[in-house]
Each structure stands twice: as structure tokens, then as C-alpha cells.
Amino acid sequence: MPINQGMRSTNNCDFYASLDGGLKAVTYMQRHFQAFDSDVIVSGLQKCGTTWLKALTFSTLYRNQFAKDEHPLLSFNPHPLFRSLESYFYLKNPCPNLENISVYKPRAFSTHLPCASLLASIKDSNCKIVFVCRNPMDMFISLWFFLDKVRDKSKELLPLDEAFDKFFRGIFPFGPFFDHVLGYLKASRENPNKILFLKYEDLKEDIVSQLNHLDVFLGVLFTEEEENEGVVEEIAKICSFDNLKELEVNKKGINESFGIPYKAYFRKGEVGDWSNHLTPAMVERLEKLMQEKLV
Ligand code: A3P
């Protein structure tokens, strides 16, 4: 399945439609983007926890660049704080000047592209990539509910079994799942200083210790003073599901690029919700695929 099928369809909220917008976006990006050694790129499939990862990365990386009581997450959803490499280029300007794209330094971007589709300047530079992965069953259920929230209401939601079948065959934006995840996993094992591979489930289990990996990886170590002052716990708290979900911007705001209400990015925020929705046959099919892919 092509990496970006359905990207443009976020505009009309039908993810299984149109190819051309997404392909153009990626093509522009591949032609024009030049990575800096200092760049940070946040990556992951949709519904694997990218909103959370953006919040955590932003808060860790730039924590000394804004006043505590003026934390940008209080007024911005995490998504617009990171330019999406593939959609920004296409939607705003095919050849923008990105030199001073951000008031915060270093520059940071986001992407859903598979590792293999990242262009040479990203692969060859010393820029850093933080990737988040999630149990595919939870990711699929999250995606299915998300599509329901953002779909054109004149169109029917794809029934769960049909959507599952498509997901299973890799027919969803930036799929197939295992190709995507294993590409980053392999690259992170080969080059752990360049790619940090995080799991949604680990973040849920112990966010503080995961933040303590993130600061080291990004080269912005929490100082002893910061640790004593509880800065790490504060970051975990401000980025938490319960906090972000209740902020005015996330209750009422809209992702202008895609016309998606920010509240659609926050549902349950739990591990294992798949067990409430997938049939035993679906679970069996996916488990078999997992075994095949993860050998
Ligand atoms: P659920 O639908 O299972 O609740 P993405 O951000 O990649 O689009 O992924 C969305 C998923 O992450 C949704 O999962 C959403 O509820 C969850 N999520 C969003 N913000 C979160 C946060 N701060 N902490 C934990 N989970 C979060």
C-alpha cells in the first residue's frame, strides 16, 4: 500500500479516498527539505500517541525557552507546534523558507512517513528522530473511532470488520503497520543515537523514566536542580491525557490545516481498549500476523 494513501482525504474526512494530495506533499518535501544536524523530528503512525509525544518532546526540548506560566501547551494543541514535513510543504507553499521557521531552537518537525521514505538529508545528517509505536490492536481501534469523529457525516463509517480487513492488509494512511514500525526499529538499533524508539505502553507505565531517556537522547539533560524542583514530573503532568484533554484549546480548537477539531485527538488514552471491540477472530488474525512479522 502506498505510504500516503488517504492523506488529503483528511480535508474531506474520508481517509480511504484520494491519493494525489499526499503524494504531492511528499514529493515537494523530498525535493526541497534540507535537514540541519540540530533538527529534531517526531515520528509515528497516526493514533500511536503522536499528540502525546509532541507535547513531551516540546516541553523537554524547549523548557528553558518559555516562562513556566506561559507554557505554549496552555494555548496550543501539540500538533501545530511541530510542522508536519509532508503536509506543510504541500498545503502552504511548495518551497518555503524554513531557516527560521520556529521561534524555538533547534527546529523541530513531525512526520508520519516510514523510515525508508525519509530523504537522504534526514538520514545523512545528525538530526534526531523520536519515534513512537503502539500495540497495533489499540492503534487500529483508536483510528476507527477517530475516523468516525472526523468523517463527512453524509458518508457512512466503514463497519469495524471492513475497516479491520483494510488495516490488516495495510490499507490505511502510511501503512502497513509492521513495515512502518519495523523500519524504525531496525534503524534505531543500528543507530540508537539518531533514532529513539519509544512505546506508548512504556510511556503509560512510567512516564518519568521515559522522560529521562528523552532528555539524554535530545541532549537536554535534566539538571540535578531541575530534578529536585520536580521539573520532570511537571512536564509529565502538563502533557498528561487528563490535563491536555481539559484545556480550552483542545476542547474547542480546530486543526486549521485539516479541519479536524482538536478534541478528536483525545479519546480514552488507555492501554488495551482493543479488548472491548475486536472479535476473537480479529485478534487471532492479528496475533498470527504479529508472530510472522516479529520473528
Ligand atoms: P485512544 O483513541 O486509544 O484513546 P495520536 O496522537 O497519534 O493521534 O494518537 C491518539 C491516541 O493517543 C488516542 O488514543 C488518544 O486518546 C491518545 N492520547 C492523546 N493524548 C494523549 C496523552 N497526553 N496521553 C496519553 N494518550 C493520549
Q: Which of 171, 226, 155 is nearest to 5 (CA)?
A: 171
Residue with C-alpha cell 504541500?
A: 90
Residue with C-alpha cell 518532546?
A: 57
What does the angle CA 214 – CA 216 – CA 217 come to, to the nearest 5 degrees?
65
Ligand 1 contacts CB of residue 273 (under 6 A)? yes
Residue with C-alpha cell 508472530?
A: 291
Q: What is the model's pLDDT at position 91?
A: 61
180 is an active site residue: no
Q: What is the model's pLDDT at position 112?
A: 93
The domains of the chain, with CATH numbers, are: 3-293 (3.40.50.300)
Q: What is the model's pLDDT at position 1?
A: 27
Give me Rg for the CA atoms of the chain: 18
Q: In 10 A of CB 31, how many CB atoms?
A: 11
Q: What is the model's pLDDT at position 4?
A: 26
- ipTM of the complex as predicted: 1.00
The answer to whether 91 and 23 are in contact (CB under 8 A) is no
CA 287/CA 57 separation, integer angstroms: 31
The answer to whether 7 and 45 are in contact (CB under 8 A) is no
Kindly give the distance from the C-alpha atom of residue 139 to the centroid of ligand 1, in angstroms, as a whole number: 9
The answer to whether 181 and 48 are in contact (CB under 8 A) is no
Residue nearest to atom 18 of ligand 1 (CA): 269
H-assigned helices in the chain: 9-12, 20-32, 50-61, 85-91, 120-124, 136-150, 160-168, 177-190, 200-205, 207-218, 224-229, 231-238, 241-246, 248-252, 280-293
Kindly give the distance from the C-alpha atom of residue 225 to the centroid of ligand 1, in angstroms, as a whole number: 31
Cell of 199: 512505546
Beta strands 108-111 and 40-44 are: parallel
Report the predicted TM-score, pTM, of the whole model to 2 decimal places: 0.92
Kindly give the distance from the C-alpha atom of residue 200 to the centroid of ligand 1, in angstroms, as a whole number: 9
**How do residues 216-241 score in pLDDT, each as one tens digit?**
999 999 999 999 999 999 999 999 99
Residue with C-alpha cell 492488509?
A: 169
Ligand 1 contacts CB of residue 240 (under 6 A)? yes
Ligand 1 contacts CB of residue 134 (under 6 A)? no
Ligand 1 contacts CB of residue 244 (under 6 A)? yes
CA 25/CA 90 separation, integer angstroms: 4
Ligand 1 contacts CB of residue 57 (under 6 A)? no
Of 71, 112, 213, 277, the catalytic one is 112
Q: What is the model's pLDDT at position 90?
A: 60
C-alpha distances in Å from residue 295, one per residue of 115, 211, 238: 20, 29, 38
State which of 110, 142, 255 you would mutate to test the pocket of ligand 1, scoring each by most atoms of that ligand within 8 A of its C-beta.
Answer: 142
Q: What is the model's pLDDT at position 30?
A: 82
Ligand 1 contacts CB of residue 262 (under 6 A)? no
Beta strands 83-84 and 40-44 are: unpaired
Residue nearest to atom 10 of ligand 1 (CA): 47
State which of 204, 267, 268 you would mutate to test the pocket of ligand 1, scoring each by most atoms of that ligand within 8 A of its C-beta.
Answer: 267
Q: In 10 A of CB 100, how many CB atoms?
A: 8
Ligand 1 contacts CB of residue 149 (under 6 A)? no
Atom of ligand 1 nearest to the CA of 44: 7
Kindly give the distance from the C-alpha atom of residue 120 to the centroid of ligand 1, in angstroms, as a whole number: 30
Q: What is the model's pLDDT at position 94?
A: 64
Ligand 1 contacts CB of residue 239 (under 6 A)? yes
User: Which residues, at least 6 apart from 76, have a Cβ–Cβ distance to it below 8 Å?
Assistant: 249
Cell of 261: 477539531
CA 267/CA 97 separation, integer angstroms: 36
Cell of 34: 534540507
Which segments in the chain show pLDDT lower than 50?
A: 1-19
CA 273/CA 277 separation, integer angstroms: 7
